[in-house]
Amino acid sequence: PSTGSARLFGARGGTSEIEELEIADRYTRVPDTVPSGAPFNIAQLWNRFATGIKETEDVEPNFETAVKRHTLLEAIQTSSDTGRAQKL
């Protein structure tokens, strides 16, 4: 998990040079008074969860996402144990 301030890197408009991209304010859903790092990340998740319930929209991550992540982790462990690529 991230415990620092979120930073986004990528290339823009046909260039291959990777640079830090500004994260738009609309993606911040908690007050500026929330400390950065883990408290900020958890506050963002709780805010998304509460908004999803209020507005009756799908909330991510959900149970289906959790199953996919655990399937991936299991495949990684099996691959490490056996030395063979796993098909997902």
Number of independent structural domains in the chain? 2
52 and 81: one domain? no
Give the C-alpha distances (Å, rounded to integers) separating 77 from 22, 26, 71, 86. 36, 38, 10, 10
Q: Is the pLDDT of residue 72 over 90?
A: yes
Q: Give yes or no for a cis peptide into 31 (omega within 30° of 0).
A: no
Q: Is the pTM of this model over 0.85?
A: no
> Quick one: pLDDT at residue 1?
45
In a domain, 5, yes or no: no
Domain limits for position 50: 10-57
pLDDT in tens, 4-39: 567 889 988 877 899 998 888 888 888 889 998 889
33 and 66: one domain? no
